A and B are shown apart, each in its own frame.
Chain A
Amino acid sequence: MTAVLERDTTFDTRFATEPYEVAWAGEARWFVQHVGGDGTATYVTQVSPDGLTWCDLDDLGHVVEPGALVSWPATGFGHWLRLRAKVEGSVQVRIHLAVKA
């Protein structure tokens, strides 16, 4: 399944995506595309035991420049996934989460 967690949303400050349940999935991959804006953002995958409290899955920060599409896998996650992002400037973001059983 593919979920579009942000659809051309503009951010100029830190944000996190809405919680998404992936208990059924064994594989997950993020696709983050900056479709507008001249800013840069750094993304970190987060996991949660309950969809309410979150921690980083790893210490990998994924930098996305203007106009770029960047993808990375998430492995060893629990029943929830989201991204947190640190934004410099303004970014317009399209985020797909592709998950498989």
Chain B
Amino acid sequence: MTTSDVRAALLSADPRLSKFSPLPRILAFDEFDSGTHGWTELLGNYNGRGDLSTVDDHMRDFRPPQLSACNFFDIGTHGALSGTYALKLATRPYKGHTAVAIRRLTMSGRGLVQLETYFAFKSEATLGGGAELDNFGDVQWDGNTHPSEAQFGAFTVATDLCGDGGLRYHTVARYQNTDLDNHFTRQWMAPTVPEPTPREHFEGKVKLEYAADFTAPNPEDWHAFGEPQELCYNEVPTKVNWHYLRWLIDTDKRRNVELQVNDRVMDMRDVPVPPYEERYETLENLLNFYFSVRTHSSVRNFLFLDSVLISVDW
């Protein structure tokens, strides 16, 4: 029996790990039943006096992640996949608002990096109102499909990476459930430009408004990859079905590799990873991951994460 066989046997015998497919070295295993594990609110940069008015408008309100028992008005506590609590990202009920949770590490090598998670996405339930609320976007409530599904905008998993003398870049994968007009697209997307930074604002190069799309503000800079994918929203806003996501990138080649979401594996090697033209300081070996959720309606959008596993081959 080889070392690899022993490792595979140990992983498959562990009910907490056997639902993942980690690379050889596990950097982080975050089951949110036991806490937030370093996933925290993202905030833009501020000046030397702690003056928060110097934070970019579009990066000042990404909301604190919550430990959620997935409580709902109709059934009470839903609970998570691995226990009672999940990490919940919640937007404000404001079109375009984004909630972001980030995890901050550094790299002790280069090569493959893999993020795996079990996630669910929901819109907040609506109570009361008239019969007009049975319609939204492309959906007319019919006992099966529910307008809540069309009220969900998009969620994103991404990195912020820097090294080798300040060369900074992001890898990004977004599931766009609906476009900004609330029509279903159900498409995986990535931007062809790097994320606007506080330094670019400081230098007068960019100024974005509140609720701008901070990852890439111009919709025309987002391009689809793979085929449209229908996920399991499961009819109403209070049923939580957990989806598997596995995302592989290569920090040696500074590019994407592939994205698996449930039974779909998408080749991402040709999805561009645009670096910043200018070098950045204080970020050497930066290895950040973030999840975000953006509402395209005036309804709160939620991204629930049961657990996250980050592994590498170095």
Any chain B CB within 8 A of the CB of A100? no
A51 to B68, CA, bound (A): 11
Chain B residues whose C-beta falls within 8 Å of the C-beta of A21 in the assembled complex:
66-69, 71, 88
Interface residues as binary, A64-83 with B (CB distance below 8 Å gives 1, 0 otherwise): 00000000000000011000
Interface of A is mostly: loop
Any chain A CB within 8 A of the CB of B239? no
A68 to B153, CA, bound (A): 39
Any chain B CB within 8 A of the CB of A56? no
| B residues 52-106 touching A (CB-CB < 8 Å) | 52-53, 60-61, 63-64, 66-69, 71-73, 77, 84-85, 88, 90, 92
Given A18-B90, A53-B127, answer yes or no on A8-B52 (Cβ-Cβ < 8 Å): yes
A14 to chain B, nearest CB (A): 16
B64 close to A8 (CB less than 8 A): no
Interface residues as binary, A17-43 with B (CB distance below 8 Å gives 1, 0 otherwise): 011110110000000000000000000
B71 close to A7 (CB less than 8 A): no
Interface of B is mostly: loop
10 intermolecular pairs with C-beta atoms under 8 Å apart: A7-B43, A8-B52, A21-B66, A21-B67, A23-B68, A23-B77, A50-B73, A51-B71, A52-B73, A53-B127
A8 close to B90 (CB less than 8 A): no
Given A8-B53, A50-B72, A50-B73, answer yes or no on A1-B67 (Cβ-Cβ < 8 Å): yes
A9 to chain B, nearest CB (A): 8
A82 to B64, CA, bound (A): 13
Chain A residues whose C-beta falls within 8 Å of the C-beta of B149 in the assembled complex:
none
A4 to B84, CA, bound (A): 24
Give the size range of B's interface with the partner.
20 to 34
Any chain B CB within 8 A of the CB of A89? no
A34 to chain B, nearest CB (A): 14
Chain A interface (Cβ < 8 Å from any Cβ of B):
1, 3-5, 7-8, 18-21, 23-24, 49-53, 79-80
Chain B residues whose C-beta falls within 8 Å of the C-beta of A4 in the assembled complex:
41, 64
B71 close to A79 (CB less than 8 A): yes
Chain B residues whose C-beta falls within 8 Å of the C-beta of A52 in the assembled complex:
73, 124-125, 127
* New contact pairs (11) apart from A21-B67, A23-B84, CB-CB < 8 Å: A7-B43, A8-B52, A23-B85, A24-B67, A49-B73, A50-B71, A50-B73, A52-B73, A53-B73, A53-B127, A79-B71
Chain A residues whose C-beta falls within 8 Å of the C-beta of B92 in the assembled complex:
18
Any chain A CB within 8 A of the CB of B36? yes
Chain A residues whose C-beta falls within 8 Å of the C-beta of B77 in the assembled complex:
23, 79
Which of A7, A50, A53, A80 has a CB less than 8 Å from the CB of B61? Answer: A7
B71 close to A23 (CB less than 8 A): yes
A4 to B85, CA, bound (A): 20
